[in-house]
Amino acid sequence: MEARMGFRAVAVYNRGQMEFASTAMPCRILVIDDDPISLAIAAVMLEAEGCAVLQAESGEQALELLPGNTPPECILADLRMPGLSGPELATHLRSRAPGALLLAMSASPPPEVEGYHGVLQKPLSPESLRAAIDHVAEHATVCDAVAPDEPSLTGVLLDEGIFGRLRRSMSPPALAEVVGAFLEDTATRIADMRSAAPETVCRQAHTVKGGAAMLGAAQVSKVASIIETGIDQPGERLRKLDELEYSLRETEVILKQRLKI
């Protein structure tokens, strides 16, 4: 069975053996993402919805986890990861968990993805996952758009809608831990990118973009997205990295203010 989906949000689904009830969340979900920030946020958010979440930091690790655990009802896999990912990973996942709903995740969804029932746009939300499940249950062919939550940007730096959803889903200590990890991880990656090869810079920028989007750090995600596309001139690349670092510092101030509320 092959499923293709083009997003922004028009999806082609194959019903297959999926038996999810409308609006129901799967009990067991496997989340695969090489970005630790995105992985942690997705896990906490889904656990708050009552899901049992299994986490894997790579496609290879996910395949190692599957034989020894109860097969998940749903698998969420980031599309761009080092090593096994994309359609190749989908093929392996289908062989290990043939009854699972297989959804890709991407901050910049490609026009078409083979092997997946659908694509969820990052930042992930329980609402977008429910919507995807609803459409799989209700439609066997082309379905309506599964749109991500409408952003409520009250400023350029932080998407208050996304961050507010996290605050409702996570305890204050857990959210503070995630924010601290994001700030430290992003600062380290920016420092590494200053002397890295161009292809490494693009890969690191992609990871920064995904983690920032999951947290609602809109400006950090935006600048990282520009860097990810590739910048040929070293001087211009360093200038954009300076902008990314400045955006991170400004975002850090706002995040720490929000954590005190």
Domain-embedded: residue 16:
yes
Q: Both 135 and 227 in a single domain?
A: no
Q: Both 8 and 113 in a single domain?
A: yes
Q: Both 221 and 98 in a single domain?
A: no
* pLDDT score at 5: 31
* pLDDT score at 193: 93
> What CATH number is given to the structural domain containing 103?
3.40.50.2300
Q: Both 131 and 25 in a single domain?
A: yes
Structural domain boundaries enclosing 228: 160-260
> What CATH number is given to the structural domain containing 201?
1.20.120
Q: Both 198 and 127 in a single domain?
A: no
Domain-embedded: residue 196:
yes
pLDDT tens per residue across all 261 residues of the chain: 333 332 223 233 333 344 444 445 667 889 999 999 989 888 888 888 788 899 999 999 999 988 766 788 889 999 989 999 998 999 889 888 887 888 899 887 776 678 888 888 888 877 877 777 766 555 333 223 333 343 433 347 888 888 888 888 888 898 999 999 999 999 999 999 999 998 899 999 999 998 999 899 998 998 999 899 887 777 788 888 998 998 899 899 889 888 875
* pLDDT score at 150: 39
Domain-embedded: residue 47:
yes
Q: Both 121 and 238 in a single domain?
A: no
* pLDDT score at 119: 86
Last residue of a domain, one of 95, 111, 143: 143
* pLDDT score at 12: 30
Domain-embedded: residue 148:
no
C-alpha span between 216 and 226 (Å, rounded): 17
* pLDDT score at 134: 67
Q: Both 110 and 222 in a single domain?
A: no
Q: Are 7 and 114 in contact (CB under 8 A)?
A: no
